[in-house]
Amino acid sequence: MLSNKIDLVLQFMAEEIETNRAEILSVNAEDVANCDKADVALYDRLAVNDAKIDGMIKSLHQVKEKASPLNHSLYSFTHENGIEIENKTVPFGTILIIYESRPDVTVEATAIALKSGNKILLKGGKEARKSNLLLSKCWEKALERAEAEKNTVRFLDLNRQDFQDYLKKPDTPIDLIIPRGGQRLIEYVYSVATCPVLVSGRGNNFMYISENADLEMAKDLIIQSKISKISACNALDKVLINKKIANSFKTDIIASLEAEMVEVLENIDEATWYEEFLDKKIVIAEVDTLEMAVSMINKYSGQHSATIVSSIENEADLFMNEVDCAAVYHNVSTRFTDGFQFGLGAEMAISTQKVHHRGPLGIEHLVTNKWYVKGNGQTR
């Protein structure tokens, strides 16, 4: 699809969402009514209000205004025999994204896929089915208005068994799969995929409080990183406090967290260290050294985000260099690991692996490359 037509589709989609605002809120209320309210993270991700709709529309305009990531020259070389060699960015082709709860992903992921020249297959969870079906119809209308190929965007309205069968034998070639879900989903996709898989994995983010920390800053960072959005994969789950300051700091921070109705866990088992909570729970533990904190983070975290609170620059640099996460921070909340906050606009996912890309996936990252070689009859 040509770049100007892509932008036209995005513009029309923003208009379709605005036109259908009341119906989107209505069908989403039906989805929400059928969900398990006890699953706080699921509910938070599923529920759509006017602010979320405004966010969908804003993300479409932001993606529309971004420069195309296609046909960028990555490398060029002139061979001694006169051949002109150039490596340029091209689309993947067709991307399949698997996600749950969040109807806004149906909008943002599609916008990013289209802007980077790709087609997209959407597989949302059953809990958001009505919301996703309506939003996918909005995409169909936007594509129709722009006179674009309707199969550029497809919502796979399949139950679990039918979708598993589809993964084994898709009706169209798939070039990249992005599973946004739990470990079981990711392992299953890996077991059947015949194309690259880019994992948007668990958060389980850590914060290390150094003996050189500003403790008022540390307290604010812990509380806000935990409670500002508990359903977010960039929320804080584990806090490691240097033993030299633990006695004076732990009592205060635990009381502050409990005042926010956060359950504080201590002396946990091995399995809990690996767990992503997506709930008002947090682990507080003591460590002897910076090196011990780094070792624990590299062992237990989801390699998503980790932060150090310290007034010593060299200490922070050591932490950031040694911690193996997609995003590392110094005196900053982990909640900033987000495509919009990083200046990318909307995001497809947050990759927790090292290939093909790591961290928030914007339009710049949903391309691969191809070699273009031109000559006039050269042979080897």
> For residue range 135-151, what is the model confidence (pLDDT) as tens digits?
999 999 999 999 999 99
pLDDT at 36: 82
Pick from 356, 351, 295, 299: nearest CA to 327: 351
User: Does pLDDT of 40 surpass 90?
Assistant: no
What order do you get walking across the sheet with 153-155 strand by strand? Answer: 153-155, 119-123, 94-98, 176-179
Q: What is the share, in percent, of the chain residues with pLDDT greater than 90?
A: 85
What are the start and end residues of each CATH 3.40.309.10 domain in the chain? Answer: 205-336
> What letter would DSSP give residue 363?
G
pLDDT digits (tens, 9 = 90+) for 332-347: 999 999 988 998 878 8
pLDDT computed for residue 184 by the predictor: 82
User: How much is the pLDDT for 319?
Assistant: 98
Please report the pLDDT score of residue 78 as a whole number.
98
CA 145 to chain centre: 30
- What pLDDT score does 309 carry? 98
Phi, psi (rounded to 5 degrees) for 156: -90, 95
Give me the pLDDT at residue 19, please.
98
Tokens read off for 105: 């992903």
Report the interhelical angle of 103-115 vs 129-145 (nearest 10°): 30
- Looking at the domain that runs over 3-200+361-374, which CATH code has it been given? 3.40.605.10
Residue 37 has pLDDT above 90, yes or no: no
- pLDDT above 70 covers a percentage of the chain that reads 100
Q: Please, are residues 336 and 221 in contact by the beta-carbon 8 Å criterion?
A: no
Distance CA 213, CA 283 (A): 19
The pLDDT of 251-267, averaged and rounded, is 96
Lowest mean pLDDT among 190-204, 211-225, 248-262, 313-327: 190-204
Q: Which single residue is written with the structure tokens 């067709």?
A: 94
- Strand-pair partners of 367: 91
d(CA 126, CA 252): 42
Unique residue bearing structure tokens 């005042």: 259
Task: Show Cβ contacts of residue 315 under 8 Å, excluding neighbours closer than 6 positions.
Answer: 210, 212, 290, 308
Residues of the chain with CATH 3.40.605.10: 3-200+361-374
Confidence of residue 117 (pLDDT cuts 50, 70, 90): very high
Closest CA to 46 of 134, 128, 159: 128
- What pLDDT is recorded for position 280? 94
From CA 78, how far away is CA 75, in angstroms rounded? Answer: 11
Summarize the confidence of residues 315-325 as an average pLDDT: 98
* Strands laid side by side in the 367-374 sheet: 73-78, 84-91, 367-374
Q: Note the CATH number of domain 205-336.
A: 3.40.309.10
CA distance 224 to 299: 25
Q: Is the bond into 365 cis (omega within 30 degrees of 0)?
A: no
